[in-house]
Structure 1
Amino acid sequence: MGSVSSKPRAVLWDMDGTLVDTEPYWMAAETALVESFGGTWTHEDALRLVGSGLLDSAIILQDAGVDMEPEAIVSHLTDAVQQALRTQGVPFRPGARELLRDLRAADIRTGLVTMSLRRMALDVVDLIDFEAFDVVVAGDDVDNPKPHPEPYLQAAALLDVDIAEVVVIEDSPTGLRAGLASGALTLGVPHIVPLDGLGAHQLWPTLHLRGAADIAELFGAHTTTEATR
């Protein structure tokens, strides 16, 4: 058996809620859209959509009274959130930008794996002031959204790395399930909804003050455990 690298070949990031805190932008856009059709949209309703595929979310919004085709709903919400990002800025989650920069410095490859549309993901990437990601896999790039493993498997394939040598960072139950199903070491950093009891390999309360060394340590400890089972 060959020696296992102590650091992962790549770290794959979820976007909304993990890298950037766009959830308030999404919630505001959903609320305005539902209310424009005379419906009501509560905070609890919005929480149901956290981490979901966009077309799945659109169907729930249709049930709440939005009389538009699912694709039109997705496009409308994306426009609203992109506008908010451009006018109000990109609110990075604590420590996310710093960890991303540190991973790049440590020569660990990175990918962004999001169920948002590609045009929105690229908007966010463009607003980061350094070369942040080697690949971007978005909701319109895959046939099966999270919690299906396809988005993470596609990113690993694009990077030409084995998914077993990848760390996934996620903030939602849906995303966590996708990471675990792919076979990646899956790190949960809860944001709006708790992630307890879902089988994450590790839960960190925040990425604040975490660096590439912490990711390597997590990966090394996990692969050592796996090798001795």
Structure 2
Amino acid sequence: MENALNPLEAPDLTRTDSAPREALALPQAVLWDMDGTLVDTEPYWIAAEHELVEAHGGTWSHEQALQMVGNPLTESAKILQDAGVDLPSEQIIDFLISRVIEQVRVEVPWQPGARELLAELRERGVPCALVTMSYRSLAEQVVQMAPVGSFVTLVCGDEVTHGKPHPEPYLAAAERLGVDVTRCVAIEDSPTGIASARAAGAATLGVEAVVPVPVLPGLSRTPSLALVDVDALSRILAGDVVDLIED
């Protein structure tokens, strides 16, 4: 039976059912999305989209930008072409990535609680993988600025055949780590990413960042990683629904 936490109880995440806290198994691994989840780079992407569309004489709305969140970059390029960007997909992707890398080199905008959770996972021996639709050139910039040893492996958008919401990225991460994906917790912020993680069979925590995280059966949610610790991830793995968002 799933147990939902009252949002007013946050950040007290002690288990309330009959299973003792110390009996909960740690995740075999934690699989992290990057943009919006680990780092608040979505504003960087949106600014680059505006710049590109407007340079080609088009207009770009905030609502259009939100529809891009979590998409494979090839899909985003098609949407930008439809908005009037007369460039091949590869050039569009290169432009967007280069602009975001420029910003990340100035400052990595870590989401609140992300670095602390990474450190706790490392202290408790839980390996992490980064699973992102951004390309490796950007992902490596972010990982280099994370606490040393935070990520064992990276699965990036230019390394998979099928991007999110297909389960391939999360299945690939579990395979590279040598773990059972159903014994892992995925941390995501977009409906596309959440669908990918759940399709792969990972217990999933949705972090509300740029777009709302919907209420779905079995989906845990939080407005911030600052409210989440490793014990909470163990509860999610055990089948509890940890819901800290007030709808």
Structure 2: distance between partners of 1:160 and 1:146:
21
Report what 2:172 is aligned to.
154
Once superposed, which parts of structure 1, at least 4 consecutive aligned residues long, lie more than 4 Å away?
none
Q: Does 1:25 align with 2:31?
A: no
Report what 2:95 is aligned to.
76
2:191 alignment partner, one of 166, 173, 197: 173
Structure 1: distance between partners of 2:154 and 2:54:
33
The total of aligned residue pairs comes to: 219
CA RMSD of aligned residues (A): 1.5
Structure 1: distance between partners of 2:227 and 2:203:
20
The 1:188–1:83 alpha-carbon spacing in structure 2 relative to 1, beyond 3 Å, is same
1:192 alignment partner, one of 197, 207, 210: 210
Q: Is the Cα contact below 8 Å between 1:34 and 1:40 reproduced in 2?
A: yes
Deviation at 1:106, TM superposition (A): 0.6
Unaligned 5+ residue runs, structure 2?
Answer: 1-22, 242-247
Structure 1: distance between partners of 2:69 and 2:216:
16
Structure 2: distance between partners of 1:11 and 1:194:
22
Q: Does 1:208 align with 2:226?
A: yes
Report what 1:118 is aligned to.
136
3-state SS in 1 of match to 2:226:
coil
3-state SS in 2 of match to 1:52:
coil
Q: Does 1:219 align with 2:232?
A: no
2:123 alignment partner, one of 98, 105, 119: 105
Report what 2:7 is aligned to.
none
Report what 1:141 is aligned to.
159
2:58 alignment partner, one of 39, 53, 72: 39
Query: What is the TM-score with the length of structure 1 in the denominator?
Result: 0.92
Query: What is the TM-score with the length of structure 2 in the denominator?
Result: 0.85
Report what 1:226 is aligned to.
none
**Higher normalized contact order (CA 8 Å, seq sep 6+, divided by chain length):** 2
Q: Does 1:66 align with 2:89?
A: no
Deviation at 1:54, TM superposition (A): 0.3
Q: Is the Cα contact below 8 Å between 1:7 and 1:220 reproduced in 2?
A: no
Q: Percent identity?
A: 50
Residues 60-88 of structure 1: per-residue CA shift (max 9 Å, x gap): 0001110100111001100000001112x
Q: Is the Cα contact below 8 Å between 2:24 and 2:234 reproduced in 1?
A: no
